[in-house]
Amino acid sequence: MVQKIFRKKTFFLVLFLLIFNFPPAAAQKEIALSEAIEMALEKNKAVLVAKEGLSVARGLRTQARSAFLPKLEAEGAYIITEELPEMEIPKDSFVDGFPPEDTSASMDFTYDYSLNFNLTQPLFTGGKIWYANRQASLNYRVAEEKYRQSREAVILQVKTAFYGALLAQEFVNLTREALSLAKEHLRITKNRYRAGEIPEYEVLSAEVELANLKPNVIKAENGMKLALLGLKNILGLGLEEEISVKGGFEKTEFAMDLDECISKGIRERADLSQLNYQKEMGEHMVRLARAGYFPNLALVGSYQMFTNELAEAWGTSYSVLLGFSMPLFEGFLTRGKMHEAKGILRTASLGQEMLQEGIKLEIRQTYNGVEEARELIAASEEAVRMSKRGVQIAEVSYAQGVITSLEVMGARLALTQAKTSYIQALYDYIISIAKLENAMRGGRVELKGLGAGMEEELADKAKKAFEGTGSDAMGSGTLERGMR
């Protein structure tokens, strides 16, 4: 008996733990537009790549600036073993009887331990270091604009996906509302049929209407799921994570006129700013190539320490040299570099003009889209107002037996279509404004015929610019050989 009671208590205890300690389902995460933008900017791969590009450009700028500073090196050596050359000394080489017989001797002019300190400071390079540094600084500005452009592009993607999810949610609400009204209309129709007020055909029409609306609800719900999947993908969330969008379609007035938009686009577009900096890089590239005609002057100092035994006193010596190198003939290398740099500069200038025209065209097109959407909103608002009034009249008339249920369904269908058009117009207006803002700040104009790889070529030139300002360009290699 006691065991039976114990078993029952154990059973209820286990059941209690299963019911009350079972892990709850994951709560649905509600996301507002500002939160979505912040999440995307933190996790989007394109933004992260552009951010790393800033680090690369910062490193190149630091490398270019280092050419202004002196270079200090330390060298040490220890001779483990050596074979000294022997010199044969014949008999009586110096005076009669000395040396008394043929002999040999070895002389050691080296030290077993040596330590050298070398200092190189460029004094004049014809502008090579200065122009290379300017190119690296401009390359960093280009990287900044690329980072800004990638952020603007992601913000546009997030807005499009976020409001797309809101639009799908509104469509679901509309189809569910239409389904609910159809059910209510079927109920009223059946009651009137039982009362003998209307024929059976009216009931059949209402049932057909209800059946036709159910697939629309399914499609709308599936569309909302797909829209949320797209949004989660942009935000870098797991596809299994449950989210919903928070907010609505707010009609905000866009006050800027077309000329103001174009002026702002020319002034603030990230891609145009990049090309402006790249054009300036091209100008410095021409000057850098011309600097190849000028000599290089550097100050080189060396301090040596040496000994044969660590316990003994170390000997020291030092030297200070003023080195000079001048290109006399290099197979027209500098001339070729100047032709290359001038060609890149002309290409950048043409690309700048093309991009400005493309910006004006893009802003005009997106601005016209904003105006069109604004007019569609006004027309849709009027259509919704009249459709609501039509449904009210139709319902009253149907209740009085003046019209058939088909006319009521037609009025409700017109209202649903008007609401759909209104919501779509609101979505188009908001997205058109977002595209216009992106056209004024970020920009995604593709330039055909600008010159394949021009942007990459300029960046590569900036990356390698400081290489020509190293020790060899300053003649220190020649100076070191002279010191030895």
- The C-alpha angle with vertex 115 and arms to 111 and 118, in degrees rounded to 5, equals 130
Q: How far apart are the first and last CA of the chain?
A: 107
Q: Which pLDDT score, from 0 to 100, does residue 82 have?
A: 66
Domains and CATH numbers, the chain: 28-70+127-296+330-478 (1.20.1600.10)
Side chain identity at residue 426, one-letter code: L
Please give the model's pTM, rounded to 2 decimal places: 0.72
φ, ψ of residue 78 in degrees (nearest 5): -135, 125
- SS3 at position 44: coil
Digit-by-digit pLDDT tens for the chain (484 residues) are 444 444 544 544 444 444 444 444 456 788 999 999 999 999 888 889 999 999 999 999 999 999 999 999 999 998 886 666 677 777 766 667 677 777 766 666 678 899 999 999 999 988 889 989 999 999 999 999 999 999 999 999 999 999 999 999 999 999 999 999 889 888 988 988 898 888 888 889 889 988 999 999 999 999 999 999 999 988 888 888 898 898 888 777 788 889 999 999 999 889 889 889 988 888 888 888 888 888 999 999 999 999 988 888 899 999 999 988 888 888 888 888 888 888 888 888 898 899 999 999 999 999 999 999 999 999 999 999 999 999 899 888 888 888 887 888 888 889 999 999 999 999 999 999 999 999 998 755 333 333 334 344 434 443 443 344 443 434 333 333 333 3
- SS3 at position 429: helix
Token digits of residue 267: 């002034």
φ, ψ of residue 353 in degrees (nearest 5): -65, -45
Asked whether the beta carbons of 224 and 172 are under 8 A apart, the reply is: yes
Strand order in the sheet with 113-124: 71-78, 113-124, 296-307, 315-325
Fill in the DSSP letter of residue 100: S
Token digits of residue 315: 């000997």
- Residue 42 CA to residue 188 CA, distance in Å, equals 55
Asked whether the beta carbons of 63 and 136 are under 8 A apart, the reply is: yes
